Amino acid sequence: MKLNELIKGLNYLKITKDTDIEIKNLTINSKAVTPFDLFICITGKSTDGHNFYKEALFNGAKALVVEKELDTEICQIVVKDSREAMNILSETFFDYPSKKLKMIGITGTNGKTTTSYMIKSILDTAGKKTGIIGTLGIYYSNKQIAPELTTPDPICLNKTLADMVDSGVEYVVMEVSAHAIFYNKIGNIKFEIGIFTNLTQDHLDFFKTIDKYREAKASFFNKKHIKSAVMNFDDLSSQYICEKCDVPYISYGLKNPSDVFAIDIEQTIGGCSFVINLLDDIKEIKMRLLGEFNVSNALAAATACKLIGIETDTIAEGILNLKKVDGRLEYAGNFNGGDIFVDFAHTPDGLKKILESLRALNPTKLICLFGCGGNRDKLKRPIMGEIVGQNADFSIVTSDNPRYEDPLDIISDIEIGLRKVTKKYVTVQDRISAIDYAIKLLTQGDILVISGKGGENYQEIMGIKHTYNDNAVINEILYKLK
């Protein structure tokens, strides 16, 4: 595409050279630049793309998008906000792919991934060709792209959406993170429906206060981004968001009066059943997923699908068809008569709901293995420790993704909360050794939940992502024990 065509929708301040240039790709990574690329200099919290323009030029960049004019003879497009420019350029370069798709966006602290997979299962059951973008990666038309960010950066996002269009995808279900909203990674994408699952303490290392975190989520719910909303009325933040929301919304909930709700919830080790009132359609729903919180996720998925015209019977069938979501209260095996689950819960509220759901199954003993991520919200560590101490019969504290922190320092922060309520815990720094120890504790009727990493396929230590997966470790240990 010619640069002069590419920048037509851009509100630029200055152009330094002729723009009659062929551009073959867009990038913000100077190391990934190839000949005839447009390099966009992004200003971040810790790095500044302007400092890497020489590397971009060396690798073949044909032009630059900058917020300040640089010392180079190459064509520069000077803009006020390079992030905003990246959104516009990405949409233009890939021919506005989101306009050719029906987009469903999900935001919230917990439940985004499971809700998105429920919606995809329902749409698949209805015969709709569906793509999914989120924490577990990108999936569509038998293609799989490994996860990097919950919500991809605009260039990757629009490139992916364009390929989805070419692959015949009709619907896209997408997790929308608070960071993506804050940095406006979604640009001018208009979602048919925006779903709010919940808001609890998380990401305070970035947002600093829960109010700023809530405000980021709330800013998604307006007519710039969505056409209609699906709101969880069991969450206190929904009232604040609804007051600011300028589009129609439908509510769902288990505890508060809502447009969509569930009664007669029953849980077993094999899943849940309940009766849904779906905008006055009454239907018994069965699903293979555990937990009252997953009933809430099912209500969100059902409501969204009903709003786009899916029949209630198909919704029920689609929910039943979903066998599992990787690392989301996923059954992982049995040893000595005790059951093992893997879950991604890494927030206080998420961990509490997991433990409450498993407690409802009346285990002989409930054991929780968990840790906390390094270089993230430190305030939640003792809170999570106290929650586990209150809700589990015994716990093992171990490493999660320590990143650049000393794992023992993270464990010590967790212990502050644990010691307030219990002495029934041990610390085992090495995660594999901790899982081996936990499994060997199991006796008849026990439940062990291994929490924090879920379906992740790595453990991040000192900037290196080492190959690692909880399920794989469990399988290897069980193989040796049996």
Q: What percent of the chain has pLDDT over 70?
A: 100
Domain count, the chain: 3
Output the pLDDT for position 44.
Answer: 80
Same domain, 297 and 336: no
Output the pLDDT for position 112.
Answer: 97
The 3-state DSSP class for residue 219 equals: coil
Same domain, 462 and 356: yes
Same domain, 119 and 14: no
Same domain, 289 and 398: no
**Among 32, 59, 88, where does a domain finish?**
88
Low-confidence ranges of the chain (pLDDT < 50): none
Same domain, 52 and 166: no
Cα angle: 300, vertex 255, 192; to 5 degrees: 20
Cα–Cα distances in angstroms (integers) from residue 411 to residues 150, 266, 400, 402, 449, in the given order: 26, 36, 10, 10, 18
List CB contacts of 139: < 8 A, sequence separation 6 or more.
131, 132, 145
DSSP designation for 428:
-
CATH code for the domain of 22: 3.40.1390.10
Output the pLDDT for position 146.
Answer: 87
How many CB atoms are located within 10 Å of the residue 266 CB?
Answer: 10
Same domain, 463 and 356: yes
Pair 338, 442: CB distance under 8 Å: yes
CATH code for the domain of 362: 3.90.190.20
Output the pLDDT for position 107.
Answer: 98
Output the pLDDT for position 254.
Answer: 97
Distance CA 310, CA 301 (A): 11
Same domain, 134 and 168: yes
15: phi then psi, degrees, rounded to nearest 5:
-125, 130
Output the pLDDT for position 61.
Answer: 97
Same domain, 138 and 9: no
Output the pLDDT for position 149.
Answer: 80
Output the pLDDT for position 54.
Answer: 96
Q: Which domain holds residue 23?
A: 3-88
Output the pLDDT for position 482.
Answer: 83
Same domain, 178 and 287: yes
**Among 257, 286, 321, where does a domain finish?**
321
**pLDDT tens digits along 330-378:** 999 999 999 999 999 999 999 999 999 999 999 999 999 999 999 999 9
Pair 189, 226: CB distance under 8 Å: no
H/E element, 251: strand 249-253
Output the pLDDT for position 336.
Answer: 97
List CB contacts of 269: < 8 A, sequence separation 6 or more.
290, 331, 339, 361
Output the pLDDT for position 182.
Answer: 93
Distance CA 373, CA 460 (A): 9
Same domain, 279 and 250: yes
Output the pLDDT for position 357.
Answer: 95
**Among 88, 113, 135, where does a domain finish?**
88
